[in-house]
Amino acid sequence: MNPKKLTALAGVAALALALAACGGGDEGGEGGAGKTLNVLIAANTQYPDEFAAWQKDVSAKFKARTGAEVKFETFASANDELTKIQTSVVSGSGPDVYAVGTTFTPTAYSTGAFVKLGDEEWNKIGGKDKFNPATLGISGPDEQNQVGIPWVSRPFVMAYNTDMLKAAGIDKPATTWDELGQQAKQMTKGDEFGLAIAYKDNFDPWKFVWGMSVQAGNPLVDGKTAKLQDPTVQKAYDTYFGWLTRDKVVDPAAVGWTNPQAVAAFAKGKTGYFMLTTPTAINSLEQGAVKGKWKFALLPTVPPGATTRPADGVEAASILSGDNLLVADYSKNKDLAFEYVKLVTDQETQLDYYKKFGNLPANAAALQTLASDPQLGPVTEAAQKSVATPFTGAWGDIQLALTNVAVQSLPDLGKGSISTQQIDSRIADAQKAAQTALDRAK
């Protein structure tokens, strides 16, 4: 044979082989009890052994109920998950059930790759009523278009050092941001500081700004309009930066802190409040000098500069935080997928999951059993008073723009002062980015 022809033939053969290999990813297929359900779930680096045991346990229960196997696939970071969703969405095959973070749910929804939940689907998993109503806030853009089934909550709260508050003559933790600043000043002296804040964290800063703005009546997104260039947002950044530059109630080193570093600082027992944490930090706190001398409290819900919340303000104690379960549209095992969702959102499984990993139940009855726990009381309350961030595919970009204001302001914070003009010009940039993202939203 002519070498050229031979080359071409070999090339085509190899290509065909490779493509065939790419295509063969579906498992299960038509086989009754021999089916396998694929579940994509975040890896748990904090408790890897317990997590493996939990997976085994759930698999066994699922097999007993349905006869089918569950195969767990884990992802290490949100990016891994996104990549997995991308490839699955493009190829139309992959995991049947995804565990997706709440703030990422709108983005996942915008791909249109997940099953919209009608009455039939909700009934399959035991009805909508079994969930803490607040957790349904980010399941979809409206009641008719929900894709996310609440699985676990990780509401944000603050932790405070009981000894330090007592020593400063403070009898109960602050409920307004102004009061918080005042108390922080009372506790700041020598090497002791009022607040621990992770200024360099890539996720924390926007949560403060969103919370204070929502409490002041500005949800940041109004339909297709971004409302970042607004006095409420300006006041929020001013307060947030002011703790460090004006009030000097934060350790100057906090300019370089991420959230775990702020946890570590608070755990040393020389900080009054640690803003923005979740029950997953309990272990770290109990291992530090602060052991036995700290409690959780709700984050303030009255906006800065006010003593009561304005009429249009929302009592947002936390962003609606946690994980939702999404069933893939392309799944050939949708019934099994809903069976799995039902299993892991049942009261018993939810409480077991809480005990192992510290994630609060989304199941209302299960959450209620924890409300009487004095340590968890404020956290369960925060779970009920969580408010969803705007449900738009543009939210990822808006969140990024809000964080970027903080990131680009760090050098000024390091120098010890930041002007209103500087804040305003950075907010203007953020507004532009947010509006561009909203204009693209479909």
Partner 1 sequence: MTILARPPEKITAKKEQRRRGVTERQRPLWLLTPGGVLMVLVILIPLAVALWISLIDLDQYTLRRWVEAPFIGLDNFVEAFGSGLLNSIWISVSFSVLSTIATVPIGIAAALVTQNKFRGRGLVRAVFLIPYVLPSFVVATVWRTMLQPDGVVNAWLSKVGIEGGLWLTGPRSYWALILVEIWAAWPFIYLMALAALQSVDHEVHEASAVDGAPWWPKLYRVILPYLRGPVLLACLLATLNHINNFTLPFVLFGAPAPEDVNVMPMIVYVTSFQSLRFGLSAAMAVLSLVLIAIPLFVYLRAVRLDVHEEGGRR
Binding site for partner 1 (CB under 8 A): 3, 6-7, 10-11, 14-15, 18, 79, 82-83, 86, 89-90, 107, 110-113, 200, 202, 252-253, 255-256, 258, 393, 396-397, 400, 403-404, 407-408, 410-411, 414, 437, 440-442
**Which residue, 245 or 345, has its beta carbon nearer to partner 1?**
245
CB of 201 to partner 1, least distance (A): 9
**Which residue, 5 or 307, has its beta carbon nearer to partner 1?**
5
Nearest alpha-carbon partner for 354 in 336, 341, 374, 368 = 368
Nearest-angstrom CA–CA distance, 226 and 436? 9
CB of 433 to partner 1, least distance (A): 9
The DSSP secondary structure of 193-239, one letter per residue, reads EEEE--TT-SSHHHHHHHHHHHHTT--SEETTEE--SSHHHHHHHHH
- Distances from the Cα of 170 to the Cα of 248, 253, 268, angstroms: 19, 26, 20
CB of 203 to partner 1, least distance (A): 10
Nearest-angstrom CA–CA distance, 294 and 163? 8
CB of 400 to partner 1, least distance (A): 5
Nearest-angstrom CA–CA distance, 233 and 242? 14
Nearest alpha-carbon partner for 390 in 137, 204, 163, 180 = 137
CB of 396 to partner 1, least distance (A): 6
Contacts of residue 187, Cβ cutoff 8 Å, sequence gap at least 6? 164, 165, 167, 168, 170, 193, 194, 249, 272
What tokens were used for 124? 């399959």
**Which residue, 90 or 371, has its beta carbon nearer to partner 1?**
90
**Which residue, 65 or 440, has its beta carbon nearer to partner 1?**
440
Alpha helices in 43-161 (DSSP H): 48-66, 78-91, 105-110, 119-124
Tell me 49's DSSP state: H
- Distances from the Cα of 65 to the Cα of 164, 328, 343, 352, 380, angstroms: 52, 21, 9, 18, 31
3-state helix, strand, coil in the chain (%, to 5): 50, 15, 30
CB of 126 to partner 1, least distance (A): 29
**Which residue, 22 or 64, has its beta carbon nearer to partner 1?**
22
**Which residue, 89 or 157, has its beta carbon nearer to partner 1?**
89
**Which residue, 163 or 329, has its beta carbon nearer to partner 1?**
329
CB of 256 to partner 1, least distance (A): 4
Nearest alpha-carbon partner for 364 in 346, 389, 385 = 346
**Which residue, 80 or 179, has its beta carbon nearer to partner 1?**
80
**Which residue, 257 or 353, has its beta carbon nearer to partner 1?**
257
CB of 90 to partner 1, least distance (A): 6
Nearest-angstrom CA–CA distance, 116 and 328? 10
Alpha helices in 151-196 (DSSP H): 162-167, 177-187
Alpha helices in 217-363 (DSSP H): 231-245, 259-267, 282-286, 334-345, 347-357
Neighbours of 341 (CB within 10 A): 22
**Which residue, 133 or 252, has its beta carbon nearer to partner 1?**
252
CB of 410 to partner 1, least distance (A): 4
CB of 398 to partner 1, least distance (A): 10
